[in-house]
Structure 1
């Protein structure tokens, strides 16, 4: 009898490129997991900042509170910041090729982040009335995401990580890949062949493999960048100039996800 496939991990990243939060259950709204990447750190021109340029961002812890966030970092006082109101000022921000509005949070949050990261920056929030369309090569009009790189959800499997770690001198944690959904009970990279799945009452579509960048080479515990896992992935997970790990997902209707829910494969990709 085969092992049932289930949702073994659920992770939210409230502030883009800062440390994630493991949760047991989460509602899924029009942007992705509730709170996921609704905040973002930007430079003076509104361009997003990430661990690609500032690996130290991985050292900032984030906790979602009822009215905002609690930020923590080594050798820094903890900082509570409130969620802005609709009356708060907005600026134009940029995430890759998308330009949209971000709501300024608090000047003291800007000062705290600038001090720790060593660069002038600001914290912004995406209000509910901001609509950021998912790339229409992969999704119909009306599919939205927040400040993610491009899709509302990212899935990876435990088996794929185990297979990758078998090639490495030192095993890596799933935190390197920053997925929202982690599944167990599969063969390595089985998720590459899935097209449509059901978890609980939600049907989700796997629309694009996730190309990986230098963020995966940053140790989440230290903020130090290394060669892995990109060097090993390049040996067997390369397509063109990119290497891939995990799958991007979209969905038609909000719902709720919880660790332990079964994962049903509804449809497989056509052979390529």
Structure 2
């Protein structure tokens, strides 16, 4: 097997940036989800609250296209309206000065952290694109902590759920608690990603999903928001049993810990920035027929593996084309571990 594609997402919920090579860190690829857009909600008493911008609920987010200027240390975002309106762009620093910036709390799956509200000119630009008030938040060094087992849980108790959507939300919630301090070298930390620093997908499994669509329809794997796409698997869905991957050329190990339960975000039409009215709009339902394979998120079809960098691998470089070896293969699928963790 080989690394087929590498992606990072500088601003959560916006489009991906494709990479040829990148250094690995324990909290993901550099610049991955270090920024996030928040909707501004004004309460009747004059107070302000913020709502996280996610693709599932704000599908117009996929019409924003970031790019990275690593030498100039800038992020450029281009907004391309789906209705054929005029494109416009803005750029901002990869590493903003935060001394004079207001802090806001961002709560993702009950894993809160402080973030920095970017200067008003950036907030105004994004607001003009979305058509309602938003701010651009920068994470800085305020990582989020994950409280979850890093073993491959096979006998975890079954969580109570009422629907597929509440299931995935509840599962993510059960793993995350609020803190932004690194307490030890093995502490698992997150940026603005949902559950883990890396999401690994298999293009062989994507081929299987294409067969569920009317010919000649195909679906962009980027709708699943992967960081690493692996090609060359012998069978579709064999990644369900990947426990660890090794890249021999760089001696990188990646621990594949949990399944990724999917929500309605995969039904979004990336060309229109709205729920798809075509065949792709039924992909979530189609996957539910045979991809509800994790009892821990029993209402959510599974695609991809939430993963963590192996110990001692920080700073190594992964490249497109690198060989990938399954260095640990599981006998059975993993299951979200709810025992001893926070309930929703």
TM-score class normalised by the smaller sequence:
over 0.9
* Residues in 2 aligned to 1:154 and 1:264: alpha-carbon distance in whole angstroms: 17
Alignment of 1:81-160 (within 5 A): 81-82=92-93, 83-87=95-99, 88-128=101-141, 130-138=142-150, 142-160=187-205
How far apart, in 1, do the equivalents of 2:124 and 2:14 lie? Answer: 16
Contact 1:158 1:182 in 2 (8 A): yes
Report the CA distance between 1:137 and its aligned residue.
3.2
- The equivalent residue for 2:171 is none
Which region of structure 1 is more displaced relative to structure 2, 160-169 or 59-68?
59-68
> In the superposition, relative to structure 1, how do residues 13 and 229 fare at CA in structure 2: closer, same or farther (>3 Å)?
same
Structure 1 unaligned residues grouped into runs of 5+: none
- Cα distance in 2 for residues equivalent to 1:162 and 1:235: 17
Residue 78 of structure 1 is matched in structure 2 by: 89
Q: Which runs of 4+ in 1 moved over 6 A?
A: none
Look up the SS of the partner of 1:18 in the other structure.
coil
Q: Is the 8 A contact 1:145 1:152 kept in 2?
A: yes
Q: 1:159-238 residue pairs with structure 2 within 5 A?
A: 159-169=204-214, 170-186=217-233, 187-199=235-247, 200-226=250-276, 227-238=281-292
Aligned length in residues: 267
Q: Partner residue of 2:164?
A: none
RMSD: 1.7
Q: Which residue of 2 is the match for residue 25 of structure 1?
A: 21
What is the TM-score of this pair, normalised by structure 1? 0.93
Instruction: Choose from 69, 73, 89 the match for 1:67.
Output: 73
Report the structure number with the largest CA radius of gyration: 2
After the TM superposition, which of the residue ranges 70-79 and 243-252 deviates more from structure 2? 70-79
Provide the TM-score with structure 2 as the length reference: 0.74
Which consecutive residues of structure 2, in runs of 5 or more, have no partner in the other structure?
41-48, 81-85, 152-183, 334-344
Q: Is the 8 A contact 1:14 1:35 kept in 2?
A: yes
Give the Å deviation of 1:76: 4.0
Q: Is the 8 A contact 2:3 2:231 kept in 1?
A: yes
